[in-house]
Chain A
Amino acid sequence: MIAEIGLFALVLALFVAAVQATIPLMGAQRGDTAWMSLDRPAAFAQFCLVAISFGCLIWLHVTSDFSVLNVVQNSHTDKPLLYKITGVWGNHEGSMMLWTFILVLYGMAVSVFGRDLPPGLRARALAVQGMVGFGFILFILLTSNPFVRVDPAPINGEGLNPLLQDPGLAFHPPFLYLGYVGFSMAFSFAIAALIEGRVDAAWARWVRPWTLVAWCALTLGVAMGSWWSYYTLGWGGYWAWDPVENASLMPWLAGTALLHSSIVAEKRDTLKSWTIFLAIVTFSLSLLGTFLVRSGVLTSVHSFANDPRRGLFILLLLGIVTGGSLILYAVRAPALKGGGLFAPISREGGLLFNNVVLSAAAGTVFLGTLYPLFMDALKLGKVSVGPPYFNIMMVPLMVPMILLMAIGPLLSWKRGALKEALSRLVFAGAATVLTIVVTILIAGPSSRSDWAALAIGLAIWLFAGSLIEWAGRVHLFRRSLAQSFHRALHLPRSAYGMTIGHVGVAFVLIGVAGSLAWRSEYLQVMHPGDTAAIAGYQVKFLGVEDNVRGPNYTASRANFIATKNGRLIADLRPERRQYQNPQQSLSTVAIYTNLVSDLYAVLGDPAANGGSVVHIFHNPLVPWIFFGAIVMVFGGVVSLTDRHHRIGAPLRRLGARIPNAALRPAAPVPAAAPRPSRRLMYLVPLAGFFVLLGFFIWRLYLVEEGFAPNLIPSVMVNHPAPGFDLPALLDGQSGISTAGLRGKVTLVDFFASWCIPCREEHPALPLVTQAGVRLVGISYKDRPEDAKAWLAQFGNPYAAVGVDLYGRTGIDFGVYGVPESYLIDKQGVIRRKWTGPLTPDVIRTELIPLAEKLER
Chain B
Amino acid sequence: MKQRTPILMAIAGAALLSALWSGPALAMQPDEMLSNPKLEARARAIGKELRCLVCQNESIDDSDADLAHDLRVLVRQRLVAGDNDEQVKQYIVARYGDYVLLKPPFDSETYLLWFGPLILLVGAGTAAAFYFRRAALGGGVPPLSEEEARRLDALLGDGGPRRKED
Partner of B100, one of A353, A375, A384: A384
Residue of B nearest to A233 (CB): B24
Residues of A within 8 A of B12 (CB): 89-92, 94-95, 98, 173, 304
Residues of A within 8 A of B98 (CB): 381-384
B71 to chain A, nearest CB (A): 7
CA distance A229 to B16 in the complex (A): 13
A557-592 interface (Cβ within 8 A of B): 582, 584-587, 589
Contacts A242-B6, A360-B121 given: A161-B16 contact, CB under 8 Å? Answer: yes
Contacts A161-B21, A233-B5, A714-B97 given: A605-B26 contact, CB under 8 Å? Answer: yes
Q: Is A637 an interface residue (CB 8 A)?
A: no
CB <8 Å contact, A289 and B102: no
Q: Is B87 an interface residue (CB 8 A)?
A: no
Partner of B96, one of A164, A242, A397, A816: A816
Residue among A162, A229, A301, A388 with the most chain B CB within 10 A? A301
Residue among B54, B101, B113 with the most chain A CB within 10 A? B113
Contacts A244-B11, A301-B57, A360-B120 given: A712-B128 contact, CB under 8 Å? Answer: no
A234 to chain B, nearest CB (A): 3
Residue of A nearest to B96 (CB): A814
Contacts A242-B57, A360-B120, A360-B121 given: A90-B14 contact, CB under 8 Å? Answer: yes
CB <8 Å contact, A382 and B97: yes
Contacts A240-B6, A299-B56 given: A584-B26 contact, CB under 8 Å? Answer: no
Q: Is A797 an interface residue (CB 8 A)?
A: no
Partner of B8, one of A91, A225, A341, A716: A225
Q: Is B154 an interface residue (CB 8 A)?
A: no
CA distance A289 to B11 in the complex (A): 8
CB <8 Å contact, B51 and A386: yes
Q: Is B20 an interface residue (CB 8 A)?
A: yes
Residue of B nearest to A588 (CB): B24
Chain A contact residue count (CB 8 A cutoff): 111
Q: Is A715 an interface residue (CB 8 A)?
A: yes
CB <8 Å contact, B8 and A248: yes
Residues of A within 8 A of B57 (CB): 240, 242-243, 299-301, 384, 386
Contacts A92-B15, A234-B24, A387-B102 given: A381-B109 contact, CB under 8 Å? Answer: yes
CB <8 Å contact, A95 and B23: no
Residues of A within 8 A of B22 (CB): 584-586
Q: Is A237 an interface residue (CB 8 A)?
A: yes
A77-103 interface (Cβ within 8 A of B): 89-92, 94-95, 98
CB <8 Å contact, B23 and A587: yes
Chain B contact residue count (CB 8 A cutoff): 78
Residue of A nearest to B74 (CB): A811
CA distance A393 to B110 in the complex (A): 14
Residues of A within 8 A of B117 (CB): 360, 363-364, 367, 393, 397
CB <8 Å contact, B29 and A613: yes
Partner of B13, one of A228, A238, A303, A813: A228
CA distance A459 to B103 in the complex (A): 27
Contacts A240-B57, A300-B56 given: A229-B95 contact, CB under 8 Å? Answer: no
Residue of A nearest to B24 (CB): A234
B121 to chain A, nearest CB (A): 4
Contact with B along A796-837 (1 / 0, CB 8 A): 000000000011100111101100000000000000000000
Residue of A nearest to B115 (CB): A367
CB <8 Å contact, B8 and A385: no
Contacts A300-B57, A364-B116 given: A386-B10 contact, CB under 8 Å? Answer: no
CA distance A393 to B24 in the complex (A): 29
Residues of B within 8 A of A226 (CB): 6, 8
B131-160 interface (Cβ within 8 A of A): 131-132, 135, 138, 140, 143, 145-147
B131 to chain A, nearest CB (A): 8
CB <8 Å contact, A235 and B74: no
Partner of B104, one of A98, A305, A385, A524: A385
CB <8 Å contact, B135 and A234: no
CB <8 Å contact, A301 and B21: yes
A248-305 interface (Cβ within 8 A of B): 248, 289-290, 293-294, 299-305
Residue among B27, B30, B31, B53 with the most chain A CB within 10 A? B30
Residue of B nearest to A615 (CB): B26
Contact with A along B55-76 (1 / 0, CB 8 A): 1111100100011001100100
A140 to chain B, nearest CB (A): 13
A582-606 interface (Cβ within 8 A of B): 582, 584-587, 589, 602, 604-605
Residues of A within 8 A of B14 (CB): 89-91, 95, 164, 169, 173
Residues of A within 8 A of B10 (CB): 172-173, 225, 244, 302
Residue of A nearest to B139 (CB): A341
Residues of B within 8 A of A589 (CB): 24
Contacts A91-B15, A357-B121, A388-B102 given: A239-B132 contact, CB under 8 Å? Answer: no
Residue of A nearest to B95 (CB): A814
Contact with B along A384-404 (1 / 0, CB 8 A): 111111001100010000000
A45 to chain B, nearest CB (A): 27
Residue of A nearest to B3 (CB): A301
Residue of A nearest to B62 (CB): A235
CA distance A380 to B12 in the complex (A): 32
A64 to chain B, nearest CB (A): 19
CA distance A233 to B7 in the complex (A): 8
CB <8 Å contact, A302 and B24: no
Q: Is B81 an interface residue (CB 8 A)?
A: no
A166 to chain B, nearest CB (A): 9
B17 to chain A, nearest CB (A): 6
Residues of B within 8 A of A356 (CB): 121, 124-125, 127-128
Partner of B49, one of A239, A368, A388: A388
CB <8 Å contact, A523 and B8: no
Residue of A nearest to B113 (CB): A371
Residues of A within 8 A of B116 (CB): 363-364, 367
Contact with B along A657-673 (1 / 0, CB 8 A): 00000000000000110
Residue among B14, B102, B110, B124 with the most chain A CB within 10 A? B14
B35 to chain A, nearest CB (A): 12
Residues of A within 8 A of B5 (CB): 229, 233, 235, 240, 242, 301
Residue of B nearest to A172 (CB): B13
CB <8 Å contact, B99 and A712: yes
Partner of B70, one of A245, A604, A811: A811
CB <8 Å contact, A225 and B9: yes
Q: Is A342 an interface residue (CB 8 A)?
A: yes
B38 to chain A, nearest CB (A): 13
Chain A contacts to B: CB under 8 angstroms: 89-92, 94-95, 98, 161-164, 168-169, 172-173, 176, 221-222, 225-226, 228-230, 232-235, 237-240, 242-245, 247-248, 289-290, 293-294, 299-305, 341-344, 352-353, 355-357, 359-360, 363-364, 367-368, 371, 375, 380-389, 392-393, 397, 523-525, 582, 584-587, 589, 602, 604-605, 607, 613, 615, 671-672, 712-716, 722, 781, 806-808, 811-814, 816-817
Task: Give 12 pairs: A residue, B residue, CB < 8 Å, sorted on A.
Answer: A164-B14, A173-B11, A235-B62, A240-B57, A302-B10, A303-B17, A385-B102, A389-B104, A524-B30, A671-B145, A814-B97, A816-B54
6 nearest A-B residue pairs (beta carbon): A386-B102, A95-B12, A229-B6, A234-B24, A388-B103, A90-B14
Give 19 A-B pairs besides A242-B57, A586-B24 with Cβ atoms closer than 8 angstroms. Answer: A92-B15, A161-B18, A176-B13, A225-B9, A229-B7, A233-B23, A240-B8, A242-B6, A301-B17, A302-B11, A303-B16, A303-B17, A342-B135, A384-B51, A385-B113, A524-B30, A604-B25, A615-B28, A781-B70
